[in-house]
Amino acid sequence: MEKTPAGTERIQLEQEMPPGIERRLVLRLLGHWRTLCGDRNLPALSDIDPTAIPDIWPHSFLIEIDGTRGDHVFKALGDRIDNYSAGSLVGRRVTDAPADALSGLAVGYIDEVLKKGVPISRGGEFSNPDGTRVLFRSVLLPIGENENTISGILGAANCREVVEN
């Protein structure tokens, strides 16, 4: 029997999503973000409702942007992200996220999103402490209370183990 890290769930995707529905988490969240934008460049923090995205929220996080010092802080973190961190990151700075864990890799390009002001998605891989290779994909989506200032980031990440034979 294969060992999986805590928080990793193996599911049959065909059973999870109805036919014709996008399977990729980052694209589903991007589509939701675009709907929230409406006629605006950015959705507001008040537009974010975890109950509207129950299948995505466990993989999601919210970051409050500190424009003066760059001490951006995790305001919310889904269970699936938190399981790959050494202790909860809620209320802690983004720089406290382990650089070699899902949480740190998922936010590793936050400065690029802040500079460009547009959603960006990245993927890559990391190794669990037991050496298991894990592939991940993440997306960072800017949010703001006005059209010109990014005051937060809505993000999500998911991963899967690479089973070596």
81-88: which pairs have CB atoms within 8 A and are 24 or more residues apart?
81/106, 81/157, 82/7, 83/5, 83/6, 83/7, 83/8, 84/5, 84/7, 84/159
Report pLDDT digits (tens) over 71-120.
899 999 888 876 666 678 999 999 998 888 888 999 999 999 999 999 99
Dihedral-angle region of residue 34 (phi above 0 means left; psi in -120 to 50 means alpha; beta otherwise): alpha
Half-sphere exposure of 134 (CA within 13 A, CB side): 24
Give residue 22's Cα distance to chain centre. Answer: 17
Question: What is the CATH T-level fold of the domain 23-161, as seen in this structure?
Answer: Beta-Lactamase (3.30.450)
Using DSSP's 3-state secondary structure scheme, residue 3 falls into coil
Report pLDDT digits (tens) over 8-19.
444 433 444 444
Mean pLDDT of 50-60: 93
Alpha-carbon span 55 to 66, nearest angstrom: 29
Neighbouring CB atoms inside 10 A of 128's CB total 19
| pLDDT confidence band for 132 (50 / 70 / 90) | confident
Neighbouring CB atoms inside 10 A of 17's CB total 14
What global pTM score does this model have? 0.82
